[in-house]
């Protein structure tokens, strides 16, 4: 056992001395493997961070919540020309579903509208995310309020000009003053502020509650009607706890088909998107992105591996005379093999460490500059970087090391002279 430990120690020392004596060659070899490890770990860490951030945003939503609309949240096989013929869901359908569904805890109505500018006295905030919804939206999304409240059923049904604003908008327009009861201007009319949503941070698709305003859907309906081409309609359905989601979905499909008079042989002229299905679609996209990342970064690793192998063959050629002398003095084949194998592995691991450090620096910079997006270098990715660099070193160095260990001492000394 001690003999093997001594063998490893001496082989390691020879490898370190060889790397020190050829600093330029060592640097060029490190550069290739560093770029390869940096590429693949950076891509995997970026995809993992994106996946984690999306899942964190989705975790605030009930996974079984359904979204009924003329469009689908996930990829669909229905051709685009067919989807464009689908009618918008209507307020009447929302009321009908609300009175007909027994397994739905809440049914809400929402209009997707363009961004607006909100004003208070001389101050204004432009490009505000305008959320136009019925009062049940608060029960489905479970909004937190730092001040005030959400509008109630009476205010929602009558389309009263009341408004709930996000934390950032409240700070911009009112500063340290209490915004509750103040009048802001929107759509050329004054709205009374009745609530401020607590600070949230970044939203799932970039639209945070901090820069959002919430208006009763019936106010916009009463002002612009239901057939405005600049608006998209959606019905949100939250199932009761313990209810059968598939059964509830089937009930929604049948109710809407019957109300619209859809024939038995016709497809559904609407889509029902479920958050859990959206999570599955996201998982597929993340998996695809990981695959693409591996393919692209694999070429960098391949180039780095070939670089190390090439350098090792050159090293064997240059040290042929030394190998012959070592063997003539009694050095075993395994000593020569370990000497060159250690050299390749050390090169590769050092390159991997530098690559991982660069990814860690990148993660800190991105996390600092992006604010709410957290770029995370996980322990798994760090371990993967070490494992890959070690594996590349072994694969790249084994052939040159074996060829060096099999050299005939006499021929090696003669060739090197």
- Maximum CA pair distance of the chain? 101
Q: Enumerate the β-bridge partners of residue 214.
A: 131, 164
Tokens 């608006």 — which residue? 231
Q: How many CB atoms lie within 10 A of CB 411?
A: 11
Selection from 116, 202, 123 nearest residue 167 by Cα: 202
Q: Which two tokens stand for residue 79?
A: 């051709």
Supply the pLDDT for residue 59. Answer: 55
Supply the pLDDT for residue 264. Answer: 85
Query: Please, are residues 218 and 108 in contact by the beta-carbon 8 Å criterion?
Result: no
DSSP codes, 70-82:
SS-SS--SS-HHH
Q: Enumerate the β-bridge partners of residue 106.
A: 238
Average pLDDT per block of 10 residues along the chain, 417 residues long: 53 60 68 77 78 64 79 80 87 91 90 90 88 91 88 92 92 89 91 90 62 92 83 90 84 90 87 72 73 73 74 69 67 70 77 84 78 72 79 77 69 59
Tokens 């074996």 — which residue? 402
Supply the pLDDT for residue 18. Answer: 59
Supply the pLDDT for residue 330. Answer: 66
Distance CA 132, CA 129 (A): 10
In this structure, is the dihedral angle defined by the CA atoms of residues 206, 202, 112 and 99, taken in order, positive or negative?
positive
Distance CA 272, CA 236 (A): 10
DSSP codes, 271-337:
EEEEHHHHHHHHHHHHHHHHHHHHHHHHHHHHHHHHHHHHHHHHHHHHTHHHHHHHHHTT--HHHHH
Distance CA 33, CA 392 (A): 9
1-9: which pairs have CB atoms within 8 A and are 24 or more residues apart? 7/332, 7/334, 7/335, 7/338, 8/338
The pTM assigned to this predicted structure is: 0.61
Distance CA 297, CA 301 (A): 6
Beta strands in 100-254 (DSSP E): 104-112, 116-120, 123-133, 145-148, 162-165, 183-186, 189-197, 212-216, 232-239
Q: How many CB atoms lie within 10 A of CB 156?
A: 24
DSSP codes, 237-278:
EEEPTT--HHHHHHHHHHHHHHHHT--TTSPPSSEEEEHHHH
Q: Which two tokens stand for residue 314?
A: 């050159």
């Amino acid at each position: 056992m001690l003999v093997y430990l001594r063998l490893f120690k001496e082989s390691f020392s020879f490898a370190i001395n060889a790397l020190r004596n050829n600093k330029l060659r060592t640097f060029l070899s490190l550069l290739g493997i560093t770029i390869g490890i940096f590429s693949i770990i950076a891509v995997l860490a970026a995809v993992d961070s994106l996946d984690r951030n999306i899942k964190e945003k989705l975790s605030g939503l009930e996974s079984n919540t359904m979204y009924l609309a003329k469009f689908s949240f996930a990829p669909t096989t229905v051709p685009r020309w067919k989807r464009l013929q689908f009618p918008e869901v209507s307020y009447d359908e929302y009321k009908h579903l609300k009175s007909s569904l027994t397994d739905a805890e809440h049914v809400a109505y929402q209009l997707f509208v363009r961004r607006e500018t909100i004003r208070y006295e001389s101050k204004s905030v432009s490009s505000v995310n305008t959320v136009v919804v019925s009062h049940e939206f608060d029960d489905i999304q479970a909004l937190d309020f730092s001040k005030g409240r959400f509008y109630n059923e009476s205010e929602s049904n009558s389309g009263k000009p009341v408004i709930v604003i996000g934390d950032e908008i409240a700070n911009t327009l009112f500063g340290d003053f209490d915004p509750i009861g103040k009048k802001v201007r929107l759509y050329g009319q004054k709205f009374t502020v009745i609530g401020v949503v607590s600070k949230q941070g970044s939203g799932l698709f970039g639209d945070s509650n901090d820069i959002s305003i919430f208006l009763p859907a019936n106010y916009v309906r009463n002002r612009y009607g239901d057939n405005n081409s600049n608006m998209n309609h959606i019905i949100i359905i939250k199932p009761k706890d313990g209810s059968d989601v598939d059964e509830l979905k089937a009930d929604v499909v049948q109710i809407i088909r019957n109300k619209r008079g859809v024939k038995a042989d016709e497809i559904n002229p609407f889509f029902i998107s479920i958050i859990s299905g959206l999570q599955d679609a996201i998982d597929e996209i993340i998996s695809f992105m990981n695959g693409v990342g591996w393919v692209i970064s694999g070429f960098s690793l391949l180039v780095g591996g070939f670089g190390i192998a090439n350098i090792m063959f050159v090293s064997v050629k240059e040290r042929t005379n030394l190998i012959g002398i070592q063997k003539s003095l009694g050095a075993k084949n395994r000593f020569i093999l370990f000497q060159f194998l250690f050299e390749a592995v050390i090169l590769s691991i050092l390159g991997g460490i530098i690559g991982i450090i660069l990814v860690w620096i990148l993660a800190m910079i991105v996390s600092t500059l992006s604010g709410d997006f957290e770029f995370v270098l996980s322990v798994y990715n760090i371990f993967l970087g070490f494992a890959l660099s070690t594996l590349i070193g072994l694969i790249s160095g084994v052939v040159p090391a074996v060829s060096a260990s099999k050299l005939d001492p006499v021929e090696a000394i003669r060739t090197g002279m």
